[in-house]
Every structure is written in structure tokens, then in C-alpha cells.
Amino acid sequence: MDYAKIIEYISKKIPNGVVLNRQDLLDKPMEINPLFQETLLRNLLEKLLKEGVLVRVGRNQYKKYNGSINKEIYKSQYSKEAQFLV
């Protein structure tokens, strides 16, 4: 499987901000290589996430990484008693 062509396709053809699901990610490689099978999708997703081409934004939801992730930073709120223990 030629991952380079798929990575190039995702980085050039898919606009920023578009949320993709696994089926979308399966359809694109099948356009490039009709022999691509669904079983290879797991390897493709792992590689795209590891190389920073995609980021996971939810369950079965992925976006092209554009240099920043707009997520709120969670700050826990502890009581005074809990802060004393921590």
C-alpha cells in the first residue's frame, strides 16, 4: 500500500476543518488503489495519527491536523480539603 499517495491526497485535497469518519478514510484510499481493503484501514489510521496528518476529535471522527488543536484545557476544581491532600 502506498501510504505516501494517501497522505498527499489528504493533505492537499481535504480542506481544513472537515471532519472525516472511518468510512470516509476508507473511500479515499479505495479511489487511489482499488485493492485497498477495509482490514488495512486500522494500519492506515494508526500511521496517519502517528505522523500527525490526522488528529482524533471524537469517536470515529478525525480531522486534518492544521498546526493547532482548538480544545479547551480542562482545569480541575478541587475543594480546599482536596487541595490539602494533593
Q: Check: CB of residue 18 under 8 Å from CB of residue 11.
A: no
Give the residue with greater pLDDT, 16 vs 72.
16
- The domain segmentation of the chain, as residue ranges, is 3-64
pLDDT at residue 68 in the model:
63
What does the pLDDT look like over 11-67, one tens digit per residue? 787 888 888 898 887 777 777 777 777 777 788 888 888 888 888 888 888 888 877
Q: Which residues pair with 49 in a beta bridge?
A: none
pLDDT at residue 85 in the model:
76
pLDDT at residue 14 in the model:
81
pLDDT at residue 73 in the model:
44
**The residue to which cell 478525525 is assigned:** 62
Show the beta-strand stretches assigned E in the chain.
Answer: 19-20, 54-58, 61-64
* Class of CATH domain 3-64: mainly alpha
Q: Which residues pair with 19 in a beta bridge?
A: 63
